[in-house]
Amino acid sequence: HEEKECAFLTILASQADNTDVVIELFLANGIDINAKDAKGRTALHIAVQRQHPKEFVIYLLDKKQADATIVDADGKTALHLTIGDKMDKERTEVLGWLVKRARAMADVPDKNGETLLSLAAKFNCSSLVENMLAAARDSNSSNRQPQTN
């Protein structure tokens, strides 16, 4: 069964325009949505890297239970792969869905030491940087114990 999954991901990785069709075809044949290719990438990694429509990514997350916390061979999660130089409204929405599913992974660096926050700053995603810093401040303030005199 593992060979079948590896073959699926090899075919998937080679399909530039029809990744969503290939994913659907193989899922219909019982392939594990979280199976990894030789580079440790899952269907979710490939879908976000290829900038598939948000509806498809949400479908993988919600309907097919894709695991957004899986790390590939480069230490990247789907979160890392979503951020890039073409951050339009749709990519930002996809990132929002992924953060909801894998918030703890946002602070995990890839093999290059890049975290979600450092990538957001690198690609000038100012609203994401602001939101992440605000969330961190909120988290820190809610974790503080009240001081007594």
The model carries a pTM of 0.75
- The answer, yes or no, to whether residue 67 has pLDDT greater than 90, is yes
3-class DSSP string for the chain? CHHHHHHHHHHHHHCCCCHHHHHHHHHHCCCCCCCCCCCCCCHHHHHHHCCCCHHHHHHHHHCCCCCCCCCCCCCCCHHHHHCCCCCCHHHHHHHHHHHHHHHHHHHCCCCCCCCHHHHHHHCCCHHHHHHHHHHHHHHHHHHCCCCCC
pLDDT tens for 80-136 read: 999 887 788 888 888 888 888 887 788 889 999 999 889 988 988 887 777 777 766
pLDDT tens for 126-143 read: 877 777 777 666 666 655
